[in-house]
Structure 1
């Protein structure tokens, strides 16, 4: 019996050693989550640095063939260490971003996943939710460029220019928007605001605005919205801020 037990233990130890040497992705899988207004910095197993924004969720899964990261919610800035032998892949919704070493930002909003490059280059692909195949030809982004994968579309938007210094500006407490739907701005604001902000009327959701403000000035940004959009602010409840159409309020 003792000999059989020893043999069984040795066999299990041998399997464990083989698993450790093969370094499967699941063995080194780590999940990181943040709360409202919380940010964290993660050092990945290869030395790459990931800044994770508020209300975000990220999973790291590395193996010998590739470095894989899954961003399932929120926003992250990646400073990827170069490794010509292992690709660095970020999957966010239906979008896959591939690099070997660069600095870029991935933002998941209600309308689209936005990828912005501060340094180096990345390659984007849209993938099907049901089968492992691309929906559109890969798109390359260089430093100072940005593109989106819109939620209700199957391709990628045209490349637009963006100042590299503004890529990942949320890490220093600043948010920038150009021709952006109100729903996307408010979705970001809610990741920093302890009081939920509700858009009560669908007519407001896709109204576009240009804005730049500090993450510590969400209330001031909200108070300034009626100056640029036809809406009113309802603060009658202590547990929420409600944005309503100005035309609706005037008719009541």
Structure 2
């Protein structure tokens, strides 16, 4: 019985692998997206097989190979059709044999609304992960982050529930990509940007394209009210308050009921350097540094003494090498680092 079931699943799994290879091919069209959506909606098994094939393709990153490298030819002499067959074979064989490099399910279904199941992607403390969505967009999650995903025909809707994420959004002018954070939302049509959610505020840094940060809207009238912003109107329908951020802009916004923010030209790279497992500080107080390091540590990082808290730190550190950071701080400053029960403490050297 089990053998027959596996044999029956092979054609479906192969179709899923073919779709994933097409998503990464570099020529995934809007019509392809429509056809893929119809294919995935045929049954729960179709959706499950697609997500599994998508996750397996993402696992190539653990070998230092990007999924795009798998799905696209490096040399002009190799025909795309042949290369696509090879990509499909790789994904199909890995998924069929059950080979996975992940610690657990990549995209379990969880209820976001009472009447609808959603996808959720998350990372643990010190973990980072990049996932590819059904439209070809990618989301890189930083430490201790979680994002919910819910796409429909009109919008590509996500909720950044906690933490930080970098979004590389596939262009689709007829289907906005929305990231909801607290009482605010960020809408784009196709761009690259970083969002960090912390207590009471969000920061947005735009690497490419433009984004609109605005009050959160009901999905029913979202498209009608947000479209004028991207058509150049200074006022959205219904007086929607918003900030427009172009490439190079960095903005900080409140997440509470009273929407407010400030936008300036900055260095977006500094806001996404975490993707290289790097932390950069320039004249930051040791208290600020400890707060940032706590995001990557299994134990909270505390600083004892007001004088020690105000010591200034400049330098670049690797977030995945905390022991080296403790040693580096002891070399830079007159401090010592102690590991106590349930916490890391930085205090004066004498």
User: Taking structure 1 as the reference length, what is the TM-score of the superposition?
Assistant: 0.70
**Higher RCO (Cα < 8 Å, 6 or more apart):** 1
Could you tell me which of 108, 126, 145 is aligned with 2:197? Answer: 108
Could you tell me which of 245, 248, 251 is aligned with 1:144? Answer: 248
Which residue in 2 is equivalent to 1:188? Answer: 292
Q: Deviations over 1:105-143 (max 9, x none)?
A: 111234631111111111112459xxx9x9983111122
Which residue in 1 is equivalent to 2:260? Answer: 155
Which residue in 1 is equivalent to 2:319? Answer: 215
Could you tell me which of 70, 77, 92 is aligned with 2:181? Answer: 92
Q: Which runs of 5+ in 1 are unaligned?
A: 1-16
The verdict on how the C-alpha distance between 1:93 and 1:51 changes in structure 2, with shifts beyond 3 A counting, is: same
Deviation at 1:234, TM superposition (A): 5.2
Deviation at 1:150, TM superposition (A): 4.2
Trace 1:233-248 onto structure 2 (pairs within 5 A).
Answer: 233=336, 235=338, 237-243=340-346
**Contact conserved, 1:103 with 1:118, CA < 8 A, in 2?**
yes
Report the Cα distance in structure 2 between the residues aligned to 1:202 and 1:34, rounded to whole angstroms: 33
1:82 is the counterpart of 2:185 = no
Q: Deviations over 1:200-237 (max 9, x none)?
A: 679988987655322134344455557888x9555151
Could you tell me which of 129, 147, 159 is aligned with 1:40? Answer: 129
**Contact conserved, 1:33 with 1:55, CA < 8 A, in 2?**
yes
Q: Helix, strand or coil for the counterpart of 1:241?
A: strand
Deviation at 1:155, TM superposition (A): 0.9
Farther off after superposition, 168-177 or 206-215: 206-215
Report the Cα distance in structure 1 between the residues aligned to 2:310 and 2:323, rounded to whole angstroms: 21
- The structure in which a higher percent of residues are helix is 2
Farther off after superposition, 39-48 or 147-156: 147-156
**Contact conserved, 2:245 with 2:263, CA < 8 A, in 1?**
no
The verdict on how the C-alpha distance between 1:139 and 1:222 changes in structure 2, with shifts beyond 3 A counting, is: farther
Which residue in 2 is equivalent to 1:7? Answer: none
Farther off after superposition, 138-147 or 109-118: 109-118
Which residue in 2 is equivalent to 1:118? Answer: 207
Report the Cα distance in structure 2 between the residues aligned to 1:142 and 1:105, rounded to whole angstroms: 13
**Contact conserved, 1:183 with 1:205, CA < 8 A, in 2?**
yes
Cα RMSD over matched residues? 3.9
Q: Which runs of 5+ in 2 are unaligned?
A: 1-37, 43-112, 223-237
The verdict on how the C-alpha distance between 1:227 and 1:168 changes in structure 2, with shifts beyond 3 A counting, is: same
The verdict on how the C-alpha distance between 1:84 and 1:57 changes in structure 2, with shifts beyond 3 A counting, is: same
The verdict on how the C-alpha distance between 1:224 and 1:90 changes in structure 2, with shifts beyond 3 A counting, is: same
Which residue in 2 is equivalent to 1:71? Answer: 160
**Contact conserved, 2:157 with 2:179, CA < 8 A, in 1?**
yes
